[in-house]
Amino acid sequence: MNGFMDLHGKTAIVTGAGRGIGRAICILLSRLGASVVVNYSGNGAEADKTLAMCGSAIKFRADVSDEDECRRLFEKCEASFGAPQILVNNAGITRDGLLMRMSSDDFDRVLDVNLKGAFNCVKLASKSMMRARYGRIVNISSVVASSGNAGQINYVASKAGLLGLTRAAAAELAARGITVNSVAPGFIETDMTASLTDGTREAMSARIPQGRFGTPEDVAGAVAFLCSDAAGYITGQTLGVNGGMYM
């Protein structure tokens, strides 16, 4: 038993969970007792690695920006484990570029995956959660939603949009026992940040009071807390996981 953080009997859908932060979230939710649906978009072999590190779990390929594929993801969950009590909207992409050079396609694609994808999944999850009068939804935003960041106008807009989506959904679903919160990671060691040069990495670390990048496990801990009964009276909030770089 894991006490307040016990997730036995719960089912979780985690989007974009083939690797990185999503994988760490699946592993922790599974360790706390949840059955997990590992959503991925492209790399089935990586999703298999996530599965191998979880207990009761299945994988399912779906592009979260596509409503029909999301519907199939939820149908697969329902058929395998029953309707989900937990949804973690983690899938996210970057297509960075300075404002003057950013194409409409790059703007739209990032909004479609990062923001519309979360909308698609929240809408599907809320149906069964409202019936059950219970649910936990966590949206993975970013520190840049609040701080801004040059060269990421599409990504920052999508992540700030997620904070608004979180608050609106929280207000709408609160009376049905459903909490909706955001986790806003700072700089985390994953494939998304792997391409940074040593110079950039040092400059970024210097801006973090704790003096280091975070780990996917640092983020997973915050997500698991918000998914647990310990966080039952917390809704519409943003929990920063950033080593103090933004307060």
The residue (of 66 and 78) whose beta carbon lies closer to ligand NAD is 66
Which residues are within 8 A (CB) of 216 and not within 5 positions of it... i.e. 6 or more apart? Answer: 20, 21, 23, 24, 25, 188, 189, 190
Least spacing, CB of residue 104 vs ligand NAD, in Å: 18
Query: What are the residues binding ligand NAD (CB under 6 A)?
Result: 15-16, 18-22, 39-42, 63-65, 90-93, 113, 117, 140, 142, 185, 187-188, 190-193
Does residue 40 have an active-site annotation? no
- Least distance (Å) from ligand NAD to the CB of residue 147? 11
Report how far residue 245's alpha carbon sits from residue 107's, in angstroms, rounded to the nearest whole number. 27
Which is closer to ligand NAD, CB of 116 or CB of 136? 116
Cα 188 to the chain's mean position, in Å?
13
Which residue, 161 or 185, is less far from ligand NAD as judged by CB? 185
Q: Cα separation of 175 and 1, whole Å?
A: 29
Please report how close the Cβ of residue 70 comes to ligand NAD at its closest, in angstroms: 9
CB count, 10 Å around CB of 195? 7
The number of C-alpha atoms within 13 Å of 160 and in the hemisphere containing its C-beta is 12
Catalytic residue among 40, 134, 155, 233: 155
Catalytic residues: 155
